[in-house]
A and B are shown apart, each in its own frame.
Chain A
Amino acid sequence: MATVIPPPSKKQKKEALQVRDVNLIPEDLPNVLIKFQASDTGESIGGSIRVPGSITEKQLEELLNNLQNEDDPVPYSFSVLIDDKLTDVKDDLYHSILKPGHKTTEDFLTLVYTPRAIFKVKPITRSNTAIAGHGSTILCCSFSPNDSSRMCSGAGDSTARIWDCNTQTPFKTLQGHTNWVLCVSYSPDGKLIATGSMDNTIRIWDAKTGAPLGKPLTGHSKWVTSLTWQPIHLDESPKLASSSKDGTVKVWDPISRLCLFTMSGHTNSVSCVKWSGSNIIYSASHDRTIKSWDMSANGKCIQTLKSHGHWVNHLSLSTDYVIRKGGFDHKGGKLDSISSKELRAKALQEYEKVAKINGVINERLVSASDDFTMYLWEPLKSSKPICRMTGHQKLVNHVNFSPDGRYIVSSSFDNSIKIWDGLKGTFITTLRGHVAPVYQTSWSADNRLLVSCSKDTTLKVWDIRSKKLIVDLPGHSDEVFAVDWSLDGKRVASGGKDKMIRLWSH
C-alpha cells in the first residue's frame, strides 16, 4: 500500500514560520571576570582575569596554557561552578553560560578546568573482519595492556584464543580447560594471561607464546566468576585474585602457583572482584553485600558494605582503567624495552594522577545491582554510601568508571545506558538507542567515547560530550556478550553468540 506523507500540521507550519535562533554573539557583550581553578587539586591560577564574554573554549585553553607557562600545550575542558554544580562550557562562554541565564556578565565566574587526554581516539565506524575460530559462543574478550595487536577471548568451546589483530588472524589457541572459559584477564605488565573457567579452575598462560604455565590452579568448588590482578605499583610480580560461585575469593601467586589466601565471608555466589590501588580487594556477592579485604593485613575483612536489596552484579573502581593499563600509555610499548622498575614508577605516577583529589587518595567504588539501583561508595572514608543512584527500570548489569573517573556509565536490561557524575553520583543523562538489554560497555582511553554491546546484535558508539549516538554498528548475527576497546584506542573487539570475533576500527 502506498502511503503519502501527510501535509504539515498547523503547529508545524507555525514553527516553520518562526524566526530561528542563529548562533550569533551580540557585539555589545561586556567583559566578564573569571578565575581558573584546577579540578583535581583545587588550586586557582592567575587570580581574577577580565576576558570578553564571547571567549571560546579554544581561547580559554590558550590563555590557561600561557598562564601555566608550559612548553607543549595541554588540552583542557572547562566547566563553571554554579551553586556547587558544574556546567560544561561548550564552544563558547556566551552560548553555554550567559545565554541560558546560568550567570550574568556581572557575576564572577569560577572556571574549573580538567586536562583532557592529549591524544584523541577516533570513533570506530566499520567492521574490519569477522574471524571465525571459536566453536561456540564467545563469552569474554580482553585486549593486552601494552599492545592493541594482541587480544584474548574465551569461549564456550573450552578454549581461549589469542588473536593477532594486525594481521587479523588467530595467533594461538589456549587449550586445557575442560569447560567454558568464563573470564580472561591480562596481567598489568602484559606478560601473563589468566583464564577462569566453568570447570572450577584457573589457568595461567604466557601471553607472548601462548604456552601454559604449569598446572591449573585448583581450589574453587564451583565455577570462577571473575578475575582481577594486583595493581603493578604495589608488587613487582602481581598476584591474582579470583571469585567463584562457591562464595569464596582466593588470592593466588601465579609464579609459585599457590593459593595464598582464601577469603570466605560471603554466604552466596561472589559475582565480581576488584583489586584497588590501595591494596584492598572489593568483592560483590549475590548475598547483597560488598566486602573489602585488606591485603596488607593478610586479607582481613575490614568492611561490609550493606545497602543493596538484591544481588550485587558488578563493581567498578574510579581507578579501574589506570590499574588495568599498568605503566603503559596510549603509545603502547614492547614488553622487553621497558624495565619493570620504570614500569612500576610510571604506573604509580599515573595511578596517583587519577586517584588523588585535592592531594588525597580518593578511590570511589560503584556497585550495580539487581534491585535496579547503584550505590556510590568511598570505602576508604566510610562504609555508608555517598549516593544512591536510581532511575533504571530493570536490573543494572554493568557499571564502568571513565578512565579519568569523572563519569560513571551504567548499562541495564531496560535497554538504556545512563551516565552519572563520577564524583557526586548525580544523574547526567540517559543514552537510548538499543532495543534489547545492554550487556557491557567499554570506554575509549581519552574519555570521549563509549561503546556498548547488546542483545539486539549491535554495538553502538556514543559521544560523551554531546551525549549522543555517533555510530550504530550492526554486523553480528546474534547477541553480543563481550566488548573491549583497546588501550591505544585503535580497535574494538567484540564477540557473542554467533561465534565470530569482530574487530572494528575507524
Chain B
Amino acid sequence: MPQNEYIEQHIKQHGRRLDYEERRRKKQAREGHRIAKDAQNLKGWRAKQFAKKRYSEKVEMKKKIKAHQESKVKTPTVENHDEALPTYLLDRQNNNTAKAISSSIKQKRLEKSQKFQVPLPKVKGISEEEMFKVIKTGKSKTKSWKRMITKHTFVGEGFTRRPVKMERIIRPAALRQKKANVTHPELGVTVFLPILGVKKNPQSPMYTQLGVLTKGTIIEVNVSELGLVTAGGKVVWGKYAQITNEPDRDGCVNAVLLV
C-alpha cells in the first residue's frame, strides 16, 4: 500500500483530530494575511516565484469572472441575430447567447490569421535510422543497399513492386494505408475517407515521393461523402487534410481537414 493510503486508512478508522475543522477554517481565514506578508517580505528567487504564481492566479480569476458575466447576458432574442431566417428554420436554431457570438468573432479572427497555417505547424524530426531498416542481401548477407520503411505508407492505386534487384526501398504491404479518419473541424464530425495522395511530408521531399505517412503530413482525401459545395454549386471531392497522430503507433491514420 502506498504511503498516503495508510494515512487515509487511519483517518477512516480513527477519524480526524477533534479540532480539525476549526483549525482548517482558521488557516483558510489567515491565508490572505499570509499572502500579503509574503508579498511584502519575500526576497530574491522566492519572491520571483511567488510573484509569478500570484500573477497567473489573478489572470485565471479575472478570466473566470468575465466568463460568468458573459454567460449571464442574454441578447434581446432577435435584434442581435446577424442573420435573418425564414419561418421554417426559426425554431430550429439554438438560443443565441452573447457568449456564442463573441466566441464566433474570436474564431473568425483566429481563422483570418491562420489562413496559411496548418493545425500542426511543427513536427519532430525523424532520423534516417528510425525511418529505414537496413536489409542485408547477397548470398553471404554482406551487401546492405536495401532499405525497408518502418512507417506507414500510402502507395496509390494499382501499385506493383519493382523487381527485387531494382527495389532499393521496400514499403511493407502490412503498413500500407488506404483510408484515414478525417475530422471536419467546424462540423465536428469524423468520417472514414479514402486517401487520394500524399501532398507533402514535412520531414523530407523524398518521403513525400514515397508516400510516407507521419505526423504532420498533408494528404489529399476524397470528401465526396461529406457533401461540400463550392460557390458555383459543384461538389467538392478532393481536399487536403493533415495527419494528427503517429500512424505507426496507433495503426490507423487520423487527420484533420484543412478548411
Contacts and interface: CB of A to CB of B under 8 A. Distances in A.
Interface of A: 1, 6, 136-137, 139-140, 155-157, 179-180, 182-183, 198, 223, 225-226, 245, 269, 271, 286, 313-314, 397-398, 415, 435-436, 439, 456-458, 472-475, 477, 481-482, 497
A314 B88 CA distance: 9
Most chain A CB neighbours (cut-off 10 Å) among B85, B197, B233, B234: B233
B233 A472 contact: yes
Interface of B: 78, 83-91, 158, 197, 227-229, 231-235
Contacts of B227: 415, 435-436, 456
14 contacts: A137-B85, A139-B85, A139-B87, A156-B83, A156-B85, A183-B87, A198-B78, A271-B88, A398-B88, A415-B227, A436-B229, A439-B88, A458-B233, A482-B86
Contact of A439 (B83, B86, B228, B233): B86
A179 B77 CA distance: 12
Nearest to A140: B86
B87 A226 contact: yes
Nearest to B79: A179
A314 B229 CA distance: 27
Contacts of B234: 474
Contacts of B197: 1
Given A198-B78, A474-B234, A475-B233, 14 more contacts: A6-B158, A137-B85, A139-B84, A182-B87, A225-B90, A226-B87, A245-B90, A271-B87, A435-B228, A435-B229, A457-B233, A472-B233, A474-B233, A481-B89
A136 B81 CA distance: 11
Nearest to A477: B231
Contacts of A313: 88
B87 to A, nearest CB: 5
Nearest to B196: A1
B195 to A, nearest CB: 12
A22 to B, nearest CB: 35
A180 B89 CA distance: 14
A201 B228 CA distance: 39
Contact of B229 (A457, A473, A497): A457
Nearest to A6: B158
A436 B228 CA distance: 8
A137 B83 contact: yes
Contacts of A458: 229, 233
Contacts of A415: 227
Nearest to A498: B231
Contact of A179 (B78, B87, B88): B78
Contacts of A223: 87, 90
Given A1-B197, A179-B78, A286-B91, A481 B233 contact: no
A337 to B, nearest CB: 35
A260 B78 CA distance: 30
A473 B231 CA distance: 12
Contacts of A457: 229, 231, 233
A136 B86 contact: no
A456 B233 contact: yes
A140 B15 CA distance: 72
B232 A474 contact: yes
A155 B84 contact: yes
A157 B84 CA distance: 8
A223 B84 CA distance: 13
Contacts of B83: 137, 156, 497
Contacts of A136: 84
Contacts of B85: 137, 139, 156, 180
Most chain B CB neighbours (cut-off 10 Å) among A137, A436, A475: A137
